[in-house]
Amino acid sequence: MGVANIPYPDGGGCAQQNATLHLSYNSLPDLFINENIYITQATYLDGDVYYDPPIRLINEYLMFTTVEELVNKFTWEILGRMCHLLQDMSVPTHAHGDAHNLCDDGINYDTYETWVGAGVAPYNSPYLSISHNGMSGFLNPIGKDKPLYYLMYRVQQVADHFGSNGPYNGDGNDYLPVTTPSYYNIPLYTLPSSPTSVNDFACCTDLAGELCYNRDGTSLQNRINIRDATLPLAISGTAGILYWFAVETGLITNIVVQNNFTGGTVKVNTVVRNSPYDYSNIVGLLLSLEAVTPQNGSDGYQHIWNNFAPNARSLWQILKGSSTYDILPPNIQHNFVTTQADNKATYLAGLRKNYKIDVDHQTEFNGLQADQLVKYIVEQNSDQISAPVLSPLNPAYCFAGWTDGNSQNSRTITPTDNATYTALYKIPSKSNNQYAFSSNSQKKLVKTSDGILHKVYSSMGRVWYEKSTDNGVTWTIENYGQPLSSNESKLPAIDISSSSNEIIIVWQEKYNETYKIRLAHYSRPGPNLVFHDVYNDAVYYPTTSYSHDAMPVISWGDNKILVVWKEGGLLFI
């Protein structure tokens, strides 16, 4: 090679002359993109010159060529050799390191390699009859921890499953030295069975006489099995190397398009694809991305493109390295021309959870009426749900609040998950509990000095307080038409003050798996009840299950209140 002006390590430079240059490079993509090629040694007619550290080769050092020409020559030569080496890994005798030759020169030839690549009789190009065994696409190394190692390993391990018939290391095996990450865990057990020992190989029974060369060879079926399992990998692995090089050098862009939740679908160039979707696009071509809405994710939520609710609006985002960029304006479709800067970027469709809200009606005698209202509310947003004042099932049923304690039939909610809200519907002065009034020693009915009747009872697993102003002909549910507590409750008792104007009620209420004794004080006139725990939780922790009937009773006189209940055979006051 004609060179000139290459500097010597100790100063000066060489004259124009022929020399052999020893060159190195950092990586193939760096060589191709940045033309970084380095001189480590120059061999002249009068001796060698070494460079430590190496110096970068530039056009000024070359007489009859350019760095660009050398880079192109080296790049495609090296890339071709990489493809050749990977293809060698698809041949069992190469995978084993089993010495062989292609002709009879004292080293056994390998029956499979000789057979599969032969283009003339008697073999007649068996590689043309390949069966792909359901394979499609190519081995994609992008995103793997070691892309080139992954390709070589994937091809070599399948070939290693099959035996070969050279003199050394001919046994096939299913040993996998690497199984994590999961893409290294190759299902070798799905491959056709293979001879496990050189001694198991039969002569080439499909060939006659001297064509067998009296050497151990594989049967025709075994050669076909090897071909159909390994040759598709050689092809798809070679495509993977070329794809890797194109992506790493920016000849094409590799991007990932996905939702901001696991699974679902996205549209890429109007075609619906499973998320995440790896896509390659030639630099400079138009790419169209579109979010699919609505769709149900594997997380149990409906996801939508939110361009209507005020909070948590949807938008596309670009993830590149550790940085995230919003794409504005926030359109459901994003069209752009790809550049090298898009390579290895992730485009994220920012759909939002659309919480499903079910409204059920729990009636006193007709059970649960499910899904009376179904509504969707976008995450971080609020909306109203409602229940009619009178049940559409039976107008005798009156709205009696919600099971979570809310008293408004129309209410505003801000959900944080899919949810079911249950409205209670009750008929005044009715109970679905046959023992509502039969508890011994518990006072259920009183009459105040103004002639108004007051009663308490259990129904629908809760405690109710009603009054009648017409001597029991009609009754109204007090406490704004709701039970005395939204928690499961039972066994109420009632009493009046010595002045016969104030009402006091006591009952047993579920508290975790045990219970507490609750008390409500009603100072008439007026609608409000004042609630008390007879025992403060910080002082008293009953250990008895709620299933135990405590049978609380109450008495009020001389400005003193006495509450008694039963627990474990003992009375508590």
Number of domains comprising the chain: 5
Write the DSSP symbol of residue 390: B
Single residue among 301, 331, 350 that ends a domain in this structure: 350
* The residue type at 287: L
Single residue among 218, 248, 278 that ends a domain in this structure: 248
Is there a cis peptide before residue 147, judged by omega within 30 degrees of 0? Answer: no
State whether 256 and 239 are in the same domain.
no
State whether 311 and 419 are in the same domain.
no
Does residue 434 belong to any structural domain of this protein? no
Single residue among 315, 335, 350 that ends a domain in this structure: 350
Residues 6+ apart with CB under 8 A from 7: 13, 55
Does residue 436 belong to any structural domain of this protein? no
State whether 116 and 242 are in the same domain.
yes
State whether 114 and 167 are in the same domain.
yes
State whether 102 and 236 are in the same domain.
yes
State whether 56 and 152 are in the same domain.
no
Strand residue runs (E) in 198-312? 252-259, 265-268, 271-274, 277-282, 286-291, 295-296, 302-304
Domain encompassing residue 359: 354-426
| 311: Cα within 13 Å, side-chain hemisphere | 11
| 81: Cα within 13 Å, side-chain hemisphere | 6
State whether 133 and 239 are in the same domain.
yes
CB 278 within 8 A of CB 266: no
258, 317, 356, 417 from 353: Cα distances, Å:
16, 17, 9, 9
Q: Measure the CA–CA gap between 478 and 391, rounded to whole angstroms.
A: 19
Does residue 435 belong to any structural domain of this protein? no
Does residue 84 belong to any structural domain of this protein? no
Q: Give the sheet arrangement for strand 271-274, strand by strand.
A: 271-274, 265-268, 286-291, 333-337
CB atoms within 10 A of CB 203: 15
Write the DSSP symbol of residue 8: P
Does residue 376 belong to any structural domain of this protein? yes
Burial class (CB in 10 A: 0-12, 13-18, 19+), 355: buried
Does residue 517 belong to any structural domain of this protein? yes
- Long-range contacts for 427-430 (Cβ within 8 Å, ≥24 apart)? 427/364, 427/365, 427/394, 427/396, 427/397, 427/398, 428/398, 428/466, 428/474, 428/475, 428/476, 428/477, 429/466, 429/474, 429/475, 430/364, 430/365, 430/459
The pLDDT score that the predictor gives to residue 430 is 93
The pLDDT score that the predictor gives to residue 483 is 93
pTM of the model: 0.62
State whether 304 and 278 are in the same domain.
yes
Q: What is the mean pLDDT of each run of 10 residues along the chain (573 residues)?
A: 87 85 96 95 92 94 94 96 96 84 60 79 78 74 93 93 72 86 85 56 42 48 86 94 91 92 96 94 90 95 97 96 91 93 93 97 93 94 94 91 91 97 94 86 90 94 94 92 92 87 90 89 73 60 85 87 81 60
CB 472 within 8 A of CB 454: no
Residue of 237, 239, 242 lying closest to 159 (CA atoms): 237
State whether 309 and 172 are in the same domain.
no
State whether 188 and 336 are in the same domain.
no
Does residue 385 belong to any structural domain of this protein? yes
The two structure tokens encoding residue 389 = 């004042």
State whether 398 and 483 are in the same domain.
no
The secondary structure of the chain in percent helix, strand, coil, rounded to multiples of 5, reads 20, 35, 45
State whether 172 and 243 are in the same domain.
yes
Ramachandran sector of residue 106 (left: φ over 0; alpha: ψ -120 to 50; beta: rest):
left
Does residue 96 belong to any structural domain of this protein? yes
The pLDDT score that the predictor gives to residue 120 is 72
Q: What are phi and psi of 481, to 5 degrees?
A: 75, 15
